[in-house]
Amino acid sequence: MSSQTNSRVVSGMRPTGMLHLGHYHGVLKNWVEMQHDYECFFFAADWHALTTHYETPQGIAESSEQLLIDWLAAGVSPSNSTLFIQSHVPQHAELHLLLSMMTPLSWLERIPTYKDQKKKLTGRDLTTYGFLGYPLLQSADILLYRAGLVPVGEDQVVHVEMTREIARRFNHFYGQEAGFAESCEQAIPKMGKKSAKLYRSQRKAFQEQGDGEALLKAQALIDSQQNISIADKERLLGYLEGVSKMILPEPQAKLTKAAKMPGLDGQKMSKSYGNTIGLREEPDALTKKIKTMPTDPARIRLTDPGDPEKCPVWQLHQVYTDDKTHEWVQEGCRSAGMGCVDCKQPLIDAVQAELEPIRVRAKRYENDRTYLRTIINEGSAAATEVANETMDDVRKAMQLYQ
Ligand code: TRP
Ligand code: SF4
């Protein structure tokens, strides 16, 4: 059973270096909006950083704080969201451990990011237990807060999908209520031998392996029964999904509309392409970066007409400037009526205007680390409180308490 009605949001980022405008337009602006409509938990996933950087942990703690500064500068607010660092809430590790007891290895091995990354990140030995468990640690991050929504990029959707399966399996193993299960068990044989057997095997396939088709088949099977009461039908439908007691609700991925932020060279903005504008880029450096951007290569001389479609500057205009400016660019470029230097100026002004308040806010936290740490400590304490509520239920369900 999913929890679409649950308005709690959880998301994290690995602390891997300063954020750029791609992160701002693609992720952070979404977070800033969401914090008004949902109860949000945002954290720096420092343990996730360790799964790939276990040999070089120096810098992770500093990067985590810098990441929090970037968020705060972008307008994520500690009064609207709970902001913290993963390792400051050790319940993430406890839940990860307990979930690891019931997680089939094959679920982790089949995650595409596992194989891809292991191949891509050459030069590092990623045949580790921690790296294989990366998505399960992410499941723990999400389930610990009983999140309804997880804003993530496309590449992370499989991790949220696995989290749903983990939650379902957990609820199936540890969430049964005695009376409910008994009445379901009594209802099953009423369907007749053949259907009862089918029901059992499909229920098992869905609950233990996450087989969605088996669920649909079993639901159709129940619908087609003529000889059992409506109450029994309802019971058996519920029993299929094991919703008798939902200890860990299933979250939904909320796809951040891939606002494809163009970089300085026209490719997607990305650290690995070296084409970024930093969220805290200083004014002079920012101006220089835009001034030296490549333009339509056909415009060698001022008198050569150009084609904005072949120019990375135009792509940025589409993100940053208004319709009137767009017309001015199109007209001036195609008629060779203006030079590229002129064309870039309104863009420089627009990006400067966007970044100015961000820079100012960032400075405040850079210069007052004590204040930043207070925010992080308060966030971690608030997160711990929620985490403990969940862990109490989890420990009880797993019979670790008398
Ligand atoms: N794996 C995510 C990424 O690389 C970061 C992350 C860790 C996360 N835990 C999470 C995202 C929990 C959402 C929810 O981007
Ligand atoms: Fe690009 Fe503007 Fe120069 Fe045209 S005028 S090539 S759009 S920078």
Query: pLDDT tens digit string along 333-377?
Result: 999 999 999 999 999 999 999 999 999 999 999 999 999 999 999
In whole angstroms, give the CA distance from residue 171 to residue 246. Answer: 6
Q: Are residues 55 and 145 in the same domain?
A: yes
**How far is the centre of ligand 1, averaged over its atoms, from the C-alpha of 13 (Å)?**
5
Q: Is 392 exposed, middle or buried (0-12, 13-18, 19+ CB in 10 A)?
A: exposed
* C-alpha separations of 212 from 2, 109, 151, 170, 216 in Å: 14, 19, 23, 17, 7
The pLDDT value recorded for residue 67 is 98
Mean pLDDT by 10 residues, the chain (402 residues): 64 96 94 96 98 93 98 97 98 98 96 83 88 97 97 93 96 79 88 94 91 93 87 82 76 82 94 96 98 95 94 96 97 96 98 98 97 98 97 93 76
Q: Are residues 18 and 163 in the same domain?
A: yes
List the structure tokens of 325. Answer: 């400016």
The pLDDT value recorded for residue 100 is 98
* Ligand 2 atom closest to the CA of 343, numbered from 1: 2
Q: Are residues 43 and 144 in the same domain?
A: yes
Q: Are residues 164 and 192 in the same domain?
A: no
The pLDDT value recorded for residue 200 is 95
Q: For the chain, how many structural domains are there in total? A: 3
293-343 residue pLDDT tens = 999 999 989 899 999 999 999 999 999 999 999 999 999 999 999 999 999
| 212 Cβ neighbours under 8 A, 6+ residues apart | 206
| Bridge partners (DSSP) listed for residue 252 | 149
Q: 253 in a domain, yes or no?
A: no
The pLDDT value recorded for residue 33 is 95
Q: 274 in a domain, yes or no?
A: no
Q: 275 in a domain, yes or no?
A: no
Gyration radius of the chain's alpha carbons: 26
Question: For atom 4 of ligand 2, which residue has the closest CA?
Answer: 333
Q: Are residues 301 and 194 in the same domain?
A: no
Q: What is the DSSP letter of 8?
A: E
The pLDDT value recorded for residue 4 is 39
| 395 Cβ neighbours under 8 A, 6+ residues apart | 98, 401
List the structure tokens of 140. Answer: 């723990």
**How far is the centre of ligand 1, averaged over its atoms, from the C-alpha of 159 (Å)?**
9
The pLDDT value recorded for residue 130 is 96
Q: 21 in a domain, yes or no?
A: yes
Q: 246 in a domain, yes or no?
A: no
The pLDDT value recorded for residue 5 is 44
φ and ψ of 157, to 5 deg:
-60, -40
Q: Which contiguous run of DSSP H or E holds residue 243?
A: none
The pLDDT value recorded for residue 220 is 94
One-letter amino acid at 161 equals E
Do 95 and 140 meet the contact criterion of CB atoms below 8 Å apart?
yes
Total Cβ atoms within 10 A of residue 401: 8
The pLDDT value recorded for residue 3 is 40
Q: Are residues 329 and 382 in the same domain?
A: no
Burial annotation 301-335 (CB, 10 A radius, 16+ → b, else e): eeeeebebeebbbbbbbebbbeeeeeebbeebbee
In whole angstroms, give the CA distance from residue 32 to residue 79. Answer: 12
The pLDDT value recorded for residue 230 is 75
List all residues whose CB is within 6 A of at least one atom of ligand 2: 295-296, 299, 306, 308, 311, 313-314, 329, 333, 340, 343-344
Do 333 and 343 meet the contact criterion of CB atoms below 8 Å apart?
yes
Nearest residue to 45 (alpha-carbon basis) of 115, 150, 129, 116: 150
Q: Are residues 145 and 212 in the same domain?
A: no
Nearest residue to 73 (alpha-carbon basis) of 10, 23, 7, 129: 23
Domain stops at, among 191, 212, 241: 241
**How far is the centre of ligand 2, averaged over its atoms, from the C-alpha of 281 (Å)?**
23
Here the CATH number for the domain that contains residue 286 is: 1.10.240.10
Question: For atom 3 of ligand 1, which residue has the closest CA?
Answer: 13
The pLDDT value recorded for residue 259 is 66
Q: Provide the residue range defining the domain that includes 334.
A: 280-365
One-letter amino acid at 141 equals D
Give the closest ligand to the alpha carbon of residue 300.
2
Give the closest ligand to the alpha carbon of residue 306.
2
Best residue among 311, 335, 342 to mutate for probing ligand 2's pocket (most ligand atoms within 8 Å of CB) is: 311
Q: Are residues 190 and 206 in the same domain?
A: yes
List the structure tokens of 84. Answer: 């913290």
